[in-house]
Amino acid sequence: MDILEVKDLTVTIQGKPILKNLNFSLKEGASHILFGPNGSGKSTLIGALLGLPSYEIASGKIFFMGQDITSKSADERAKLGIVASFQNPPEIAGVKLGDLLKLFLGKTPEEDFSPEEQKLIEAFRLTSFLDRDINVGFSGGERKRSEILQLIFLKGKLLLLDEPDSGVDVESLKLIASQLQRYIEQTGSTALLITHKGDIMDYIKAKYGCILLNGAFHCFTDPVSMYRDIKNYGYEECVACRRRKTGGWNFEQRK
């Protein structure tokens, strides 16, 4: 079953079209790795799926678990289970990381974390960050660790992960990605993970590899060999070759 279906989606930013007539769907319970050149619109797509106000849906529809969510607000979509980690997590001065994590867990600021929650915060090496304002003065990798922990505590059904591995050291990558994989396995949730590198696939077991290229979304199986082909032959040839091999089968044409 498809958890997400995007039909003829056109997204504009300040009136300028960034994505035009995009069509694709995501399989429930599967992890999808999304590749694509810089500027191809990957982060824009995530913003539009989240319903962030600066991404205007000029036309088309988004269905989540069979429900048309195109006109739903970001809040409503988050409550349905669409959650994300950002490529450039913003600073939120005046809000403590610990308080935000408690909010995500449904706790008041006065309540304590459970021993299990404390263990996870410790594993993410964020215990000493709980009293700090979110991302203020955090290093690049610390921001990413904090983003992924927030995402796990949010308990979403569809995880949109915008370059969770960028600027992250090898040990932190192992930590972030294996915790994500554990969450995905335990909850059966679906992931769309954007990356420019292959290392994260050592930990995230992804069935599908997708490429956003020239305004079209192409999905095929085996993201590991796709990444190798992209490195060797480029995005265009990777898509063209897979279309030839699969007789043109992909997510767009499957119906």
Ligand X SMILES: Nc1ncnc2c1ncn2[C@@H]1O[C@H](COP(=O)(O)OP(=O)(O)OP(=O)(O)O)[C@@H](O)[C@H]1O
Binding to ligand X by residue 128, rule CB under 6 A? no
User: CB nearest Mg ion: which residue?
Assistant: 43
Nearer to ligand X, 42 or 144 (CB): 42
- For ligand X, which residue of 39, 53, 66, 247 counts as binding (CB under 6 A)? 39
Please report how close the Cβ of residue 87 comes to Mg ion at its closest, in angstroms.
5
Nearer to ligand X, 53 or 115 (CB): 53
Binding to ligand X by residue 90, rule CB under 6 A? no
Please report how close the Cβ of residue 123 comes to Mg ion at its closest, in angstroms.
27
Give the x-and-dash track for 1-20 against ligand X (CB under 6 A).
------------xx-x-x--
Q: Dig out the tokens for 29 from the structure.
A: 């319970």
Q: Which stretch binds ligand X (CB under 6 A): 2-10, 38-46, 125-133, 149-157?
A: 38-46
Please report how close the Cβ of residue 43 comes to ligand X at its closest, in angstroms.
3
Please report how close the Cβ of residue 88 comes to Mg ion at its closest, in angstroms.
8
Nearer to ligand X, 44 or 146 (CB): 44
Binding to ligand X by residue 40, rule CB under 6 A? yes
For the chain, what is the HEC assignment? Answer: CEEEEEEEEEEEECCEEEEEEEEEEEECCCEEEEECCCCCCHHHHHHHHHCCCCCEEEEEEEEECCEECCCCCHHHHHHHCEEEECCCCCCEEEEEHHHHHHHHCCCCCCCCCCHHHHHHHHHCCCHHHCCCEECCCCCHHHHHHHHHHHHHHHCCCEEEEECCCCCCCHHHHHHHHHHHHHHHHHHCCEEEEECCCCHHHHCCCCCEEEEEECCEEEEEECHHHHHHHHHHHCHHHHHHHHHHHCCCCCCCCCC
Binding to ligand X by residue 195, rule CB under 6 A? no
Cβ contact 226:211 at 8 Å: yes
Nearer to ligand X, 121 or 201 (CB): 201
Binding site for ligand X (CB under 6 A): 13-14, 16, 18, 36, 38-44, 87
